[in-house]
Amino acid sequence: MKRLWLILFILFSSFLFADEKTFVREYTYKASDYDSKVTSRTNALEQEKLKELEDIKKKADNALAEIERLKKELAEAKSDAEQLKLTKDYNKETNTLSAVDYANKSLQAARKGDYANELLFANIAIELDPNYGYAYSRSGSAKLNLNNYEEALKDFIKAVELNPNDPRILLNLGLAYNDQSNTTKAIQLYEKAIELDPDYALAYLRLAFVYNDQGNTTKAIQLYEKSIELDPDYPFAYNNLGSVYDDQGNYTKAIQLYEKAIEIDPDYALAYFNLGSVYDDQGNYTKAIQLYEKAIEIDPDFSVTYINLGNIYYNQGKPELRLSNYKKAARLGHKGAQDWIKQGEVQKKVRRACIVMGLIIIWFASGN
């Protein structure tokens, strides 16, 4: 009987002293893991908004010029019929100017991450000028940001109906289709945008992302390089091209491109993260830690960076630092980190149960 109790004690001891990381799959997140359809949109968003501001200003200037012209004609109108027509045209232009103003407010709200007001102001612009295609595009953008993909798609389709030759609106409709995994339609729209504006760097960038997502890296590289040729100061193109070479194991080329992205935009958190992951893969933990910490300094909510930092610290024999970084990632909503911590809590309970069971076994084995 004592031999049986001894065997049971050994079995429970094996659970008690088991390595707690047995359920953990050590993994370094890389650029290709983090870059998603949503991230692709986010990466290019600020640069696109600057171009949208230019379009808004141009439309506002045109409306102001037309208002001034109509004012003069109204002052010189000779008949009631002529005055009535000019007044209608004048009111229409003032509504257009107001719609442009609200479209601009929608854009500014988007830049602040205030997507509810982005949608609100876009809807007001539509009410003021139901034929203002860009207002529907802004509404669609807001709905994309709020994850209302079906309604966003309807707005973008309406925007294209009103402005079929606007490459930026076509690009947004393509993005909505891409978010729904309709890459065939997305590619058609991106190519149409390029046909309308062969110098539209962002269209090449988004088209490259689709081809890279499909595994056609040769085509993706060509398109990223074209985007860079058209806009050499566009950091996102360098970062995305770097991620392609990174996935291919061409770390020298990837490092050059990530560093170029950082040179252009020193506050580009994703580029620091991607560069850090390359040095992480190469075992240069000192350099990787510096870059991951810089990414966190710029974007403290960058959850996957904490995971990579935690893995490095574990490899350096610092499990307590891994735990603290995983906890930060979990608080930011990283599911993998949350699951890891939950499993750790379960294992703690199992260990406590094993301790109790071990004490009981010892008590019985002692013959009491």
Q: pLDDT tens, 258-270? A: 999 999 999 999 9
Domain extents in the chain: 1-34+268-362, 46-180, 198-265
pLDDT the model gives residue 251:
96
pLDDT the model gives residue 204:
96
Q: Each residue of 73-89: pLDDT tens digit?
A: 767 777 777 767 767 77
333 φψ region: left (φ > 0), alpha (ψ -120 to 50), beta (else) = left
User: Does pLDDT of 247 surpass 80?
Assistant: yes
Q: Does domain 198-265 have CATH number 1.10.3720.10?
A: no
pLDDT the model gives residue 317:
94
pLDDT the model gives residue 296:
96
Task: Report the alpha-carbon distance of residue 310 to residue 280 in Å, rounded.
Answer: 12
pLDDT the model gives residue 38:
40
pLDDT the model gives residue 261:
96
Average pLDDT, the chain: 81
User: Does pLDDT of 41 surpass 50?
Assistant: no
Long-range contacts, 324-330 (Cβ 8 Å, 24+): 328/303, 329/303, 329/304
pLDDT the model gives residue 208:
96
User: Does pLDDT of 46 surpass 60?
Assistant: no
Q: What would the mean pLDDT of 33-56 be, rounded to a whole number?
A: 52
Q: Provide the pLDDT confidence category of residue 29 given band limits of 50, 70 and 90.
A: low
* Distances 366 to 3, 354, 359, 363 between C-alpha atoms, Å: 12, 18, 11, 5
Q: Transcribe 40-79 into DSSP letters.
A: HHHHHHHHHHHHHHHHHHHHHHHHHHHHHHHHHHHHH--S
Domains 46-180 and 198-265 share a fold: yes
DSSP element (H, E) containing 21: none
User: Does pLDDT of 365 surpass 60?
Assistant: no
Q: Provide the pLDDT confidence category of residue 22 given band limits of 50, 70 and 90.
A: very low
Q: What would the mean pLDDT of 131-142 be, rounded to a whole number?
A: 92
pLDDT the model gives residue 225:
98
pLDDT the model gives residue 249:
94
Task: Mention every residue, 6+ apart, whose C-beta is less than 8 A from residue 222.
Answer: 208
CA angle 222, 187, 50 (to 5 degrees): 75
Task: Mention every residue, 6+ apart, whose C-beta is less than 8 A from residue 340.
Answer: 23, 24, 326, 330
pLDDT the model gives residue 68:
75
Q: Each residue of 296-349: pLDDT tens digit?
A: 999 999 999 999 999 999 999 999 999 999 999 999 888 888 888 887 554 555
Q: Each residue of 159-204: pLDDT tens digit?
A: 999 999 999 899 999 989 998 899 999 999 999 999 999 999 999 9
Other residues' Cβ atoms within 10 Å of the Cβ of residue 255: 18
| Distance between start and end Cα atoms, the chain | 13
pLDDT the model gives residue 345:
57
> Which regions of 211-336 does DSSP assign to beta strands (E)?
none
The pTM of the full predicted model, rounded to 2 decimals, is: 0.74
Q: Note the CATH number of domain 1-34+268-362.
A: 1.25.40.10
Other residues' Cβ atoms within 10 Å of the Cβ of residue 262: 22
Percent composition of the chain: helix, strand, coil (DSSP 3-state, to 5): 80, 0, 20
Q: Provide the pLDDT confidence category of residue 25 given band limits of 50, 70 and 90.
A: very low
Q: Does domain 46-180 have CATH number 1.20.1050.10?
A: no
